[in-house]
Structure 1
């Protein structure tokens, strides 16, 4: 699982004080405590690497294989995996346990890590990064500038529609998506349409607390399980929703004419084939099918 770069490296008992503690006096060091058997660790690791690379050297990422480094695990009292700890000036200053979305990771890092000096970046890339970080209003403003110069820019139109959808303008978002021409951005268009579908469905469903209460009384309430997954998707709780949908599929794959399977495929469209959660759950779905 190791693809080291100058900013990303393995830490061991032998080099931890040098690579993590000493380095943290110069740059913040994010430490990823993981193990080979831990599936959420494998979802999180490429996401952490992507975030670390985006800081262009202003953040270091150290990976600790807990099976190989029990002394470090004991030293920091690590009880569950994955656990991620941010070190600064020789001390742990923040962190989290369990797989987290990119937006939550960046929000945790923001007070501690200096942003790299902005380069002359592609405005669309800037808008995509803002959207990924959950700054929908800023992303929308950046996209409006792009579309003023080129109102047929398909990638900008699709992302603009997703920004509109996130603030509840589903009809307007649908109109924008209908203006996208050509097949070049077919996958992104399918993902945006899936997002609209989940947001529209969630608006007409019982709220999450009621659905959780139903499932507590009857864990095999298939309707409540699917509806809760849709509510979670509308709130971008993708891992929880994928896990719920897969369990529903394995328990009753024919529910509502194969709805769990169809919904899983919609989520894969929404997240995109390169997303680490899609890699994990596509494999799990394949194993369940065959």
Structure 2
């Protein structure tokens, strides 16, 4: 649903009153016959489309809505068009008179809208709630790349990494959280991470490692060890163990299926997944 609409005498009270309580309203005073207005309209419309959940672009045609335009211009203090007025909670919070560049408009909006990294982080959180771990991971990674010092981004990213068993990444992110940002969310993730790290060297894994070292040609032991590695998040070690099995016997048990299943648990574009896909393809072809 578009967040751009025409401001008219019929809807202006709702938009400037009710709607502005929940979203930032950007009124664009423009004239279709003005080249400057046409140029600015293209810029404003493009920017508004980037904030569908947080911004309403209310376009006021000063030729067809003369009475409303004059009334609002007098109340706000507009003396020239094109002009942009930002409304929040029914009150003007900023005004840009005359033609504006893309950068000038974005700077004015940035004071009242979420930052790009916050918007991407929100997408990561929504994907996490839906259990869409691929998108959750990729959105969080993108937000972190934009603002690697943001503690909230790091915590959400660590939470996602923990859920997909990228434990070393989660550990690094948690370790970088400053004391001032170590809230209840941080404590919860840290506790879960510590439990996950403790499970990395379970008695079952140690026993299988010892047996495999004593009998290095036993493919069944290697396959069992790979399954244990995968269960505790040691993905690369699981894949390496399965790869060593497949190199000796490509048709050994469920090794190839397990190998592909482990890769499938990693997020799209993950470096480990790419590495071991290439290894398998080189073996097959």
TM range (shorter): 0.3 to 0.5
TM-score w.r.t. length of structure 2: 0.40
TM-score w.r.t. length of structure 1: 0.39
Higher Cα Rg, which structure = 2
